[in-house]
């Protein structure tokens, strides 16, 4: 015997569209772009038994050597418990080393090793190629617009984390 369904329980057979100001097209493009952007590094990381969290830690430790654990937690917006396992693996495998802070002995500064630098670069190369190839398909001043757009996607109160990195300063900012 079939159960009677209410209108709320009935299957909806048409796809959701751009309704209520929701831009599903761009949302979906972000999903697909992120899927492909992370696919090459994901395959490499799997060979080490690592995941995306390892990639993020390697990336920021290589971009900001001497970053403290507290600063890394703030950048990644994760808990100390979430970071502990990933960081332990990277330390145990010799990709990252941890040194006591020079001013505060409780601080732990993180540095890449040659092995960690090599892996971070290997993970970044296919992503850089993908970005380069995509930028060659767009016209003119697109790179600056894309940078502005991506920065605008970051919560305003967290944009200082981007601005603090000298490599993110545009030509207009350097004088």
Residue pLDDT tens, the chain, 175 long? 667 778 888 888 888 877 778 888 888 999 999 999 999 999 999 999 999 999 999 999 999 999 999 999 999 999 999 999 999 999 999 999 999 877 777 889 999 999 999 999 999 999 999 999 998 888 777 888 888 898 999 888 888 888 766 565 554 444 3
157 burial type by CB count under 10 A (0-12 exposed, 13-18 middle, 19+ buried): exposed
- DSSP-assigned letter for residue 8: T
Residue 86 region, left (φ>0) first, then alpha (ψ -120 to 50), else beta? Answer: alpha
Query: Given this model, what pLDDT does residue 126 score?
Result: 97
For residue 112, the cross-strand partners are 96
Q: What is d(CA 131, CA 146) in angstroms, rounded to the nearest whole number?
A: 11
Q: Cβ(110)–Cβ(72) under 8 Å?
A: yes
- DSSP-assigned letter for residue 17: -
């Amino acid at each position: 015997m079939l159960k009677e369904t209410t209108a709320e329980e009935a299957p909806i057979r048409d796809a959701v569209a751009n309704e209520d100001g929701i831009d599903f097209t761009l949302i979906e493009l972000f999903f697909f772009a992120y899927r492909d952007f992370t696919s090459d590094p994901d395959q490499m990381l799997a060979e080490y038994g690592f995941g995306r969290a390892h990639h993020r830690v390697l990336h920021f430790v290589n971009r900001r050597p001497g970053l403290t654990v507290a600063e890394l937690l703030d950048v990644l917006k994760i808990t100390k418990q979430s970071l502990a396992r990933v960081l332990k693996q990277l330390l145990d495998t010799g990709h990252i080393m941890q040194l006591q802070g020079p001013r505060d002995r409780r601080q732990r500064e993180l540095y890449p090793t040659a092995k960690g630098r090599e892996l971070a670069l290997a993970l970044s190369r296919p992503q850089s190629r993908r970005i380069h190839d995509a930028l060659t398909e767009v016209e003119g001043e697109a790179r600056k617009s894309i940078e502005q757009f991506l920065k605008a996607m970051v919560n305003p109160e967290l944009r200082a984390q981007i601005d603090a990195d000298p490599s993110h300063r545009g030509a207009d900012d350097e004088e």
